[in-house]
Each structure stands twice: as structure tokens, then as C-alpha cells.
Structure 1
Amino acid sequence: MSLKAIYRKVLDGTQLADSDIHFIINLPQDRLEELLSCAHGIRTARFGNTLGLCAIINAKSGTCSEDCSFCAQSGHHSTQSPEYPLLPPEEIVAAGAAAQQHGVTRFGVVASGKKVGNQDLEGFTEAVRGLAAMGMAPDLSPGILDHSQLKSLKKAGLKGYHHNLETSASFFPKMCSTHSYEEDVNAVRSGLKAGLYVCSGGIFGIGESWDDRVELALTLKELGVQSVPINFLHPIPGTPLEARDVLKPEEALRIVALYRFLLPDRALRICGGRLTVFGETRKKELLKSGASGLMVGDYLTTTGGDTTSDLEEIATAGLQPENRKHEK
């Protein structure tokens, strides 16, 4: 077995064996650059030299009913996270317009909480209409939507539904006790059934094993999600994971590369925790690790990097922001 042989398997569309996956996970550290080069080759074969840019707005913050161990917005934790109801639609649309000026094509409206009531649904609908009218691809991350809500929002112009599984089914009970993993899986299935572009991924560095990481990737592959956001833990004071060490950049890069091998044709978007793990100095490595998308601007409750600097680094890496016509 060799890395090149595994690489050729992926390019040929052959499913990797368990031994191939463990070979990648256990590849010596001094061969990381070789692994990243192969992962980048896979993403180039599938996506060319384009990179998808997305941005989000924290449209409703705090007091979430769920107790996810990493989350600053959980009502079960004592954090300094801001708390406010759903922002006015015009404010959400204005934020989307600002992001569009930087080449962002997908704009995510993110709201804390598990369920969506009628008043918030009206606000989301108006915001989606406004974003779609500008030529943006509106995405929504509001918790768990039922089929009728999804269809109504799609009619208003919604393009994508975002709902992370966060981790494997095996590890999930250690991370959250207020709802089941199957509820999240069913939410993803509902988005796909509604004909939406579904973005579902996870957060890494919360105590999960490599087997958990593989399990999550294979679950997402089986479900058929089109886009997989990769987040890294940014420990927040007041959460159960406040004292957990941040992932080393080398381990985070290996995660991205592994996901490219396991999910060769899916959009892999580097999102939360990017600056926490990589800072401003290792962007080039990240952009050449297999990722095909990048979240720019601020995250939910933490500050992101400078978008202009991100765009410069993207150009330096020989990549260019993709246009809407390239997106499914």
C-alpha cells in the first residue's frame, strides 16, 4: 500500500478500504506535506482552481435550549455571549450586501435555538427574499425546520439549509444531552427531500477520536449532503470545554486532508475556529490542504479575519473565488 495508490483510487472513484483510511490517519508527520499535496490534487481535479466563499450573520443570539458542550449560545452555560431576538430583515439583507462586495456568493442567516416559531419564520422569509433579490444564494441555519417550513422558505428563494451533525453518532451523547442524534439526521434528510443545497458538517477538537471523525464523514457521505463545513473548537469561557487545548495546526490539516479523501466530490468549507488554530500565518497551507471553500468575515460569537487579507492569500495560492454559476 502507498499514498499514491490510495490517491489514484480516489481519482478513479474507488471506495477506500478501512486499511486505506487508517494508512492516512497514521501517516508519519514528516509526510504531512505529501498528504496535503495529494488532497489538494483531489480537490483540483473536482473543483479546478476555484474556491467558494461564504459568510454568515448571527441573526438571533443566545439562550438556546440545547446544551451542546462547545456552544457559547447555550442557555445551559454561563458565557458572555450576546443575547438578542431575530434581527430585522433589512439589517440581515444589508449584511449580505456588504459580504457580496467581497465576492461572497453564499450568505448564511444563523439563529440560535432548536425550533422556529411563526414570527421568526416570517422574518426569515422576508430576509431570504431580500438576499435572493440581490443575486445571493441565501442559506439558513435556524435549528430544525419541518417540511412545510422548508418548502415555504424555498419558495421565497432559499437555496441552502445548514444543519451540522457536529460529530459522530457514537460521540454525540458526550457532547449533547437535550436532543438525539437522529433528530439532527432527520433534519438533514428533510432539507435534502425539500430539494435544498444542504450544508452539514462538524466541529473538531471537542474530544472526539479519529474513528469518530471517520464515522461522521461516512455518515455525511451516505446522507448525500452537498457541502461539509469543517469547524475547529475555539474554547469559550463558561462552556464545559473552556479548558480544552486547541488543536495543533498539523492535526487540523490532516483532518481536512482526510475529509477530502473520504468526500472527494463534496464542497469542504473551512469555517469556525480557523484563526484560533491557524492564525494569520498558515493560510497558504490550509488553502492547499484539500479545502474547496472558505468562510470569511466574523463567526457567530467570535471575530474572524480580515476579508481583504483572505482574498489576497487566495490569489497568492493560485485560486480564485467561484461564481454562482459554478455552484449547484
Structure 2
Amino acid sequence: MSFSIHAILKKAQEDKPLSTVEALDILRAKGSNLSFILAGAHALREKSFGGRAELCSIINAKSGRCAENCAFCAQSSHHNAQVPVYALKSRDEIVAGAITAEKEGSHCYGIVTSGTRVTPGEEFDRLLAAIREIRATTRIAPSASLGILDDLTAAALADAGCVTYHHNLETARSFFPQICSTHAYDEDVETVKVAKRAGMKVCCGGIFGLGETLEQRVELAMTLRELDVDSVPLNFLNPIEGTPLAGSSHLTPMDCLRIIALFRYLLPSKRISVCGGRQQNLRDLQSWMFMAGASGTMIGNYLTTCGRNPEDDLQMFKDLEIETDGCC
């Protein structure tokens, strides 16, 4: 290995960026070298978050018929995946989901809709009303993932009480054209900036195992560092039949741990949450994600696939001696 773990840990502790070579060495580490890297990532997590973890949940508030052609997504109208298709849920259904999420221990509740963007009208008004009610009746922080934003839409969300806007870049700029051709990468980057200008926190990450190179994993991490996002969700591909990536399998559990550690070293003080695909990709090593530097995870179901039983996750936190109460 071409670097000293002590040297890169010192860089991360001082929030200095790693070189590309150092970042790639993390992604190639094996054996005892990887053990040292994971220990450093664990120390970085504890420095910023102590022994606590933040939990989030989502609701698939509007499903299917998306005009985008993201190769991994089962909700794209360009693909043939068999997923539920329905219009925007009622305000009561969205609020009820928040109440359930809070009872299950989540600190952040994401309202997710399919489609390129949300536009002014009855549906957007319904979403704003639901966010206002969630803020008024629960302690959970509402988040929204509604696609590409403009300044007016972002301002309305912030005024309604939306704490965080979620919008993934998905992958590196250099690989994005292989994954999506229906909108430009710059539109996603601009949405991050629009949300920040409106005063919302930004949750922005990606999905791994799409066929990207190690260099492109580093590229995405460095882009997110430059954008100074508040939290980073890391997803691992769970290939769905009917999508172009059906049958793909590019990740091992150790690959996932190396990716988590990379992001912790490059974004030492940011919230890093492991979300979709953790059961399928980490398998028996799910609990190791916190040792690799993750500071949170998504509990409950995902958009079109089932998640782990929340009770099993809560037991995992207990076994790891990780607290989940009062973290926000």
C-alpha cells in the first residue's frame, strides 16, 4: 500500500482532502490494511457523532411512470419492471407515514415522488400541506425528494418547513451518460445549489455497483465534498428485473465497506447513511457499516423493494451499543 494510514487519518481529522492515489488505495485495501482503514473510519465517525446513529425512513408517495431513463430504476417508463403505479397519496396517508416512522425511531422522513420535477398545482399544494402538518404534529424532520428544483419551488418547500431536500447525483459525472440520458448532470448539481440557497439542508449521494470504475467512485465523493452537502446516502445496486441492469452484480460486502470508508475519509464530518441494497450487498456484514464509518441508515421499506424489519435493525443497534434516541 502506497500510503500510511496514520497520514491519511491525520488529513481526514484536519478535514484535508486526500489525493486521488490515497483514495484509490482505500478502495483497493485488503486484509490487515483494510482493518486499519476501517478502524480509522470508525474513529472519524466517533469524533463527529459519538456513539449515536441517525435513522431515516421514506414513503413512496407517487410511484411509477417516470419519464427519466435511469438504468437502475424500476419506476422508469422506459423499462419493463413490474412495480406499483399510482398517483400522489393523500395528505393523510403521507402524514400517517411520518407518524409511523417516528414511532419506529426515525429522525428524518423522506417524501419521495417519481418524475423529473414537481410543478405548481394541486399536487404540490398537497405536499406542502402534508409537510406543514408533519412539522406541527410530530418531532420528525420532514424531507422531500421531488426531482429537479427551481428557486420558487425550493422557497415554497422551505417556507412549509421542509428541513432537508434529497437529490442524488447517482454517480460520477464521467459515468452519468451511461446511466441516464434524459437530463443533464448539471441539472442535478444545480438542484443541490438551489436547495442550499433556499435554506434547506441537502442530502445527496449515489448508488454503487452500476459498472462504474474505482476512479469514478472517488470522483463522485470528491464532487460531493466540493458541493459541501450536509448528508450523503450511499446505496448499493439491488438489480431489478425489467431494468437494463437486471442481473448485474459488481459488489462484494467488502467492496461496500471500502466505499463507506472512502466517503468517511473524504467527508469526515458529514452524515453518511447506508440506504438501499444493504441487505443484498452487505449480507452478514450489515453491522460492519458503522465500523466502516457510516453514521446512520435507512430503516423500513425502500421505494419499490422491501427493507429489513425495523425491529431487527433496532436490535442490531443495541448489540452494537449504538444509541439512536435523540439524534437529529
Q: TM-score, normalised by structure 1?
A: 0.96
CA distance in 2, matches of 1:40, 1:213: 20
| Displacement after TM superposition at 1:18 (Å) | 2.7
Question: How many pairs were matched up?
Answer: 324
Q: Unmatched 5+ residue regions in structure 2? A: none
Structure 1 residue 227 corresponds to structure 2 residue 231: yes
CA distance in 1, matches of 2:279, 2:37: 22
- Of the candidates 59, 67, 70, which is equivalent to residue 68 of structure 1? 70
- Of the candidates 257, 281, 285, which is equivalent to residue 261 of structure 2? 257
Where do residues 4-43 of structure 1 align in structure 2 (5 Å cutoff)? 4-43=6-45
CA distance in 1, matches of 2:201, 2:254: 31
Whether the aligned pair in 1 keeps the contact of 2:67 and 2:76 (CA below 8 Å) is yes
- Of the candidates 140, 145, 149, which is equivalent to residue 141 of structure 1? 145
CA distance in 2, matches of 1:237, 1:215: 29
- Of the candidates 221, 230, 244, which is equivalent to residue 240 of structure 1? 244
Partner of 1:292: 295
CA distance in 1, matches of 2:16, 2:230: 19
SS in 2 for 1:139: strand
SS in 2 for 1:275: helix
SS in 2 for 1:298: coil
Whether the aligned pair in 1 keeps the contact of 2:79 and 2:242 (CA below 8 Å) is yes
Structure 1 residue 100 corresponds to structure 2 residue 102: yes
| Displacement after TM superposition at 1:207 (Å) | 0.4
| Displacement after TM superposition at 1:77 (Å) | 0.2
Partner of 2:124: 121
Q: Which moved more, 1:150-159 or 1:72-81?
A: 150-159
- The percentage of counterpart residues that share the same residue type is 44
Partner of 1:200: 204
Whether the aligned pair in 2 keeps the contact of 1:92 and 1:109 (CA below 8 Å) is yes
Structure 1 residue 283 corresponds to structure 2 residue 281: no
- Of the candidates 80, 85, 88, which is equivalent to residue 87 of structure 2? 85
- Of the candidates 283, 292, 311, which is equivalent to residue 308 of structure 1? 311
| Displacement after TM superposition at 1:224 (Å) | 1.2
CA distance in 2, matches of 1:8, 1:237: 44
* Cα-Cα RMSD: 1.2
| Displacement after TM superposition at 1:126 (Å) | 1.2
Give per-residue Cα distances to partners, 1:284-305, cap 9 Å, x unaligned.
2122110001100000000000
Whether the aligned pair in 1 keeps the contact of 2:279 and 2:286 (CA below 8 Å) is no
| Displacement after TM superposition at 1:322 (Å) | 4.8
- Of the candidates 260, 268, 274, which is equivalent to residue 270 of structure 1? 274
Q: Which moved more, 1:18-27 or 1:43-52?
A: 18-27
CA distance in 1, matches of 2:16, 2:160: 39
Kindly report structure 1 stretches of 4+ aligned residues shifted beyond 3 Å: none
CA distance in 2, matches of 1:190, 1:14: 26
| Displacement after TM superposition at 1:30 (Å) | 4.3
The residue identity in structure 2 corresponding to 1:274 is R
Q: TM-score, normalised by structure 2?
A: 0.96
Give per-residue Cα distances to partners, 1:193-241, cap 9 Å, x unaligned.
1110100000000000111111111111111110100000000000000
